[in-house]
Homo-oligomer: A and B are copies of this chain.
Amino acid sequence: MSERKISQAVISRLPRYLRYLGDLKDEGVERISSHDLSVRMHVTASQIRQDFNHFGGFGQQGYGYNVVYLYDEIGKILGLDHKHTMVIIGAGNLGQALANYMNFEKRGFLILGIYDKDPALIGKQVRNLEIEDISGAADFIRKNNIEIAVLTLPKAGATSVIGDIVNSGIKAIWNFAHVDLDLPDDIIVENVHLSESLMKLSYKLTSADGTERIN
């Protein structure tokens, strides 16, 4: 597959396609046209066709896409056809919430460890895992070829721990810490900055109040 030139914008839309196709699958719909899908998703049919053409078009016939096939193919592109291993670094409220979230496991994202430096947390059970001392995290990643580290630490903690994690051979970081990580090019980073999202909402609220609504 020649995926070389696929833009971030296209990639960003794939999970949403997958979500809608999953719903269609659950409803027992076997085929759907780009037009009908576009109406459901509030996008244009031409955008759908353009997006899908990056991946060979998924064999739309006159009577539409095969839902199960399309769902599976997009899942493969997103790497959901095989398991991914993760550890959570930072067992505060958010770290524990993510550890408890069953849907990640259903999607093949296996959480194999959860770490913190707080003695009050170490030893505590979170779902099927015991919170361990953060000093052992890098070694565990190395020995078990863990792919993804989920960083759910306060800023200060994140910067102090990141060196060890980088050197452990981790492949990707799912970063919830409020810090821009300065990482080697071969480590993938996906940021989730919750405060920044809330500030964007606050901005829209504030400009809406001034009757200068920006959307």
A96 located at the interface, meaning its Cβ lies under 8 Å from any Cβ of chain B in the complex: yes
- Establish whether residues B109 and A15, one from each chain, have CB atoms under 8 Å apart when the complex forms: no
Which of A44-52, A64-72, A78-86 contacts the other chain? A78-86
The reply to whether B4 and A195 form a contact with Cβ atoms under 8 Å apart is: no
Return A120 CB to nearest CB of chain B, in Å: 15
Assembly stoichiometry (copies): 2
Contact at A202–B84, with CB atoms within 8 Å?
Answer: yes
A18 to B: closest C-beta gap in Å: 7
Contacts of A4 in B (CB 8 A): 212, 214
A193 to B19, CA, bound (A): 11
Q: How far is the CB of A188 from chain B (nearest CB, A)?
A: 5
The one of B42, B96, B208 that contacts A97, using a Cβ cutoff of 8 Å: B96
Residue among A207, A208, A215 with most chain B CB within 10 A: A207
- Count of chain A residues with Cβ under 8 Å from any Cβ of B? 61
Q: Which of B80, B101, B198, B204 contacts A202 (CB 8 A)?
A: B80
Task: Collect the chain B residues with CB atoms within 8 Å of residue A212's CB.
Answer: 3-4
What are the residues of chain B within 8 A of A29 when measuring CB–CB?
Answer: none
Q: Kindly list chain B residues whose C-beta atoms are within 8 Å of the C-beta of A197.
A: 174, 190, 192
Residues in B whose Cβ lies below 8 Å from that of A93? 96-98, 100-101
**Contacting pair A198 B190 (CB below 8 A):** yes
**In the complex, what residues of B have CB within 8 A of residue A103's CB?**
195
Q: Does A200 contact B (CB under 8 A)?
A: yes
CB of A171 within 8 A of chain B? yes
Least Cβ–Cβ distance between A34 and chain B, in angstroms: 18
Offer 19 A-B interface pairs, CB within 8 angstroms, sorted by A. Answer: A3-B207, A3-B212, A4-B214, A15-B199, A15-B200, A16-B180, A41-B180, A79-B205, A84-B202, A93-B96, A94-B97, A96-B97, A98-B194, A148-B201, A172-B201, A174-B198, A186-B208, A186-B213, A190-B204
